[in-house]
Amino acid sequence: MTFSKCTKTNKANAVTVYTRVNEHPDVFRVESGLLFCNYCDLTVEWRHKSIVDSHCLRKKHLTQKKIYEDNQSKKNQKILETTLLAANSKREVIEELIKAFASANIPIEKINHLLPFFKKYLKEGDAIPQAQLYVNSTYMKKCFREILKPVMPQLIHVSCLAHILNLIGETWRELPQFLLLKTFLAKIKEAFVKSPARRNRYITHLKMNGIGSSRKIPLPNQTRWNNVGVITIYIYFISIYAKEFVQDLDFFQQQNKPVFPFIEGRLQQLTAFIESNTTAPYFGPEIENIIRQHLFNPDDFYSIFRQTFQVAYNKFSAHISNHSAHSLFYACQVFNSQYIHLGDIQIKDIRHYSAIIELDNPSDSLLCEWSIYCGLTELEFNENLDETNLNNYWKNLSVHLPILFNIALDYI
């Protein structure tokens, strides 16, 4: 009997006001140790469960609950309508602004200089983003279809290739196997990038103690050493195989350079690089040595490396294969004399480049210039053409090939 009584007392003592709140989520709240009903705004005796349950079943409580929920629903609906209205208003401002800039023949990039004025004097000024945010945006594509295309039928919306490469990079960053590396870099950023003072104190401490290396030596437990080895291997892999993406990213981000004739070649080279590594059985002696130094089996990592290239290839194919300017990239290679003069006879057929409107139905004069251009001797074309000297190359041909020169300047 004594044991049973003790158990009952302990059970009663275990019940608190918060127990009742947990039993009826969102119905009650605690203020100063008292149990308040959210709907009736009244205190309820919480020590006896039957009293709390009885209150929840009362007609007045149920009526107040319904009124509260109806008001909350109306409030949420109003917030949703306000949010949608604001989004529509923002989109309308952007679309009208793009239309105005296009009509006035003002480059979108000039908008950055006007942003301070817009934000200060216009009611919807904060809705206008910076110029680089327009690239690949849904409203930009809508403006192209509904506003720009009707007034400029020859216009082509070219999705930013640098943006596509960034999307490919995101596939590596989000790969589950690289989560350890992602966490490691986040911790470094948290400890040093976001706290320069801490970083400076750390470097000062190393120098004062005669330590030349800035690496922090981890404690020698097996789990941590394994993590360090895996992180090291991943870093080596990325540092070696991400170079191709970085080089192409730098190429596509060049401004005021005639890069268009070289885009197709770059894309073909990048496609071959990614595709070949999706099935590569070996990733080079440097990677293999690093893996073996940390006492791992190279084959275990090679399957992960192939997977990284597979997800990159999937993303690359999804965007590049359906790119709106893909046929134009191919056609514009003709303005690179190396492509014309180092290729086979089929490459010199002007009909292959009908994506360039001026070459689709060429005049006799243009055909004459085309035959001259295709017949240039090795001494007359530059074997070292790139985006740095292509403009000057065509300017030198302007006297002999004036029609082709004007077409080339429009496209390169």
Could you tell me if 86 and 124 lie in one domain? yes
Lay out the sheet containing 28-31: strands in order across. 28-31, 34-37, 43-44
Query: Which residue would you say has higher pLDDT here, 256 or 58?
Result: 58
Could you tell me if 267 and 348 lie in one domain? no
Task: Among 124, 151, 178, give the residue marking a domain's end.
Answer: 151
Q: Taking 70 as the threshold, does the pLDDT of residue 29 lie above it?
A: yes
| CA 273 to centroid of chain Cα atoms | 21
Could you tell me if 181 and 297 lie in one domain? yes
Q: Is 221 inside a domain boundary?
A: yes
Q: Is 10 inside a domain boundary?
A: no
Q: Is 228 inside a domain boundary?
A: yes
Task: Among 151, 173, 200, give the residue marking a domain's end.
Answer: 151
Q: Is 135 inside a domain boundary?
A: yes
pLDDT of residue 379: 44
Could you tell me if 189 and 136 lie in one domain? no
Task: Among 92, 120, 151, give the residue marking a domain's end.
Answer: 151
pLDDT of residue 219: 39
Helix/strand/coil for 124: coil
Q: Is 287 inside a domain boundary?
A: yes
Could you tell me if 298 and 193 lie in one domain? yes
Could you tell me if 180 and 319 lie in one domain? yes
C-beta contacts of 12-21 below 8 A and 24+ residues apart: 15/47, 15/49, 17/46, 19/46, 20/44, 20/46, 20/49, 20/52
Could you tell me if 235 and 345 lie in one domain? no
Cα separation, 386 vs 265, whole angstroms:
12
Residue-wise pLDDT tens digits, 162-203: 778 888 888 887 777 777 777 777 776 666 656 667 667 777
Q: Is 67 inside a domain boundary?
A: no
Could you tell me if 191 and 286 lie in one domain? yes
Q: Could you give the number of structural domains in the chain?
A: 4
pLDDT of residue 56: 87
Could you tell me if 147 and 173 lie in one domain? no
Is this model's pTM higher than 0.75 or not?
Answer: no
Q: Is 245 inside a domain boundary?
A: yes
Contact call for residues 64 and 44 (beta carbons, < 8 A): no
Q: Whole domain around residue 393: which residue ranges?
A: 336-411
| Nearest to 160, CA basis, from 390, 336, 320 | 320
CA–CA distance from 96 to each of 124, 135, 292, 412 (Å)? 12, 16, 60, 30
pLDDT of residue 126: 59
**pLDDT confidence of 3, banded at 50, 70, 90?**
very low
Could you tell me if 106 and 53 lie in one domain? no
Could you tell me if 199 and 272 lie in one domain? yes
Cα separation, 10 vs 171, whole angstroms:
56
Q: Is 87 inside a domain boundary?
A: yes
The partner residues of 43 in beta bridges, in order of sequence, read: 36
Could you tell me if 39 and 94 lie in one domain? no
Mutual angle of helices 402-411 and 364-374, in 10-degree steps: 80
| CA 109 to centroid of chain Cα atoms | 20
* Pairing mode of beta strands 43-44, 28-31: unpaired
Residue-wise pLDDT tens digits, 128-167: 655 544 444 555 555 555 555 565 556 666 677 777 888 8
